[in-house]
Amino acid sequence: MNILITNDDGISSSGIKALEKELGKKHNTYLIAPLKERSVTSMALTVFQSMRVERINDNHYIADGFPVDCVNIGLYAEIFPKIDLVLSGINRGVNMGYDVHYSGTVGAAKHGGLHGLPSLAVSSGRIDPEDGYEREAKLVGLFLDSYVTKILPGEVWNMNFPPEIGGSGGLDQLTFVRLGRRRYTEKYDKTNIIEGVSEFQLNGSLLGHDQETGTDFEAYYAGKIPVTPIQLDLTDSNRLSLLAG
């Protein structure tokens, strides 16, 4: 299987290196990643200007752009053979609930789905672990062995790994759940520059979530590995049916 691998943490991140090393044992891997960190860029795409892309070798490229740019180039710039699966990650930090709307990791996978490919976004609650995300990469490999044929063309699945996995620490803790409701509390620092001009710096977000059953949050904090199929059609069908009468 030909797998296109990208991320939003940048080419030098340990998560993407771990994925390539593990999946390269059984599959043909083609890596194209942003030159620098591009977190929280959602589905941003470079238009109206050129973008520098560096070839390392036939299977490795660096793009001075966004994660979606990387997927687009990998699919349409004729640098790789025909791709069978788009894989984005392993992200340094989780992407659960409404995070999927902001995440560059999930955005890259969504772009693969929009272009008809089965796509998977992978994130971890471990931050810079000593094993370089080897644990997650091995489990992703096992997950694909069992489930890759179930990810249909155009589907996007979102997977998150907790710091401590319950049970045997393996795929026995995998669970398919819906997205929860993330709650954000934002804080800005303001610096006055000149009269009428200020700089605003987002100084972190306080993250919370609703306490609901059957969600990725509930599963994650119970030591399970939540996986959620993401629907790209944003139509509120229930509301539409009511309005249409």
| Domain housing 160 | 2-181+211-244
201 part of a folded domain: no
pLDDT at 204 over 80: no
pTM of the model: 0.95
Q: Phi/psi of residue 173, each to 5°?
A: -95, 5
Binding residues for a divalent metal cation: 8-9, 39, 91
Q: Residue 194 burial by CB count (10 A; 0-12/13-18/19+): exposed, middle or buried?
A: exposed
206 part of a folded domain: no
User: pLDDT tens digits for 134-181?
Assistant: 999 999 999 999 999 999 999 999 999 999 999 999 999 999 999 999
pLDDT at 77 over 90: yes
Query: What is the pLDDT confidence band of residue 201, given thresholds at 50, 70 and 90?
Result: very high
Q: Rounded mean pLDDT of the chain?
A: 97
pLDDT at 205 over 80: no
pLDDT at 242: 95
Query: Which contacts qualify for 133-137: CB closer than 8 Å, 24 or more apart?
Result: 133/14, 133/15, 133/18, 133/19, 133/90, 134/18, 134/22, 135/161, 135/169, 136/15, 136/18, 136/90, 136/161, 137/18, 137/19, 137/21, 137/22, 137/23, 137/90
Average pLDDT score over residue span 92-101: 98
69 part of a folded domain: yes
Q: CB count, 10 Å around CB of 225? A: 23
Question: CA 177, CA 96: separation in Å to the nearest integer?
Answer: 11
53 part of a folded domain: yes
Binding residues: 8-9, 39, 91
How many domains is the chain partitioned into structurally? Answer: 1
157 part of a folded domain: yes
196 part of a folded domain: no
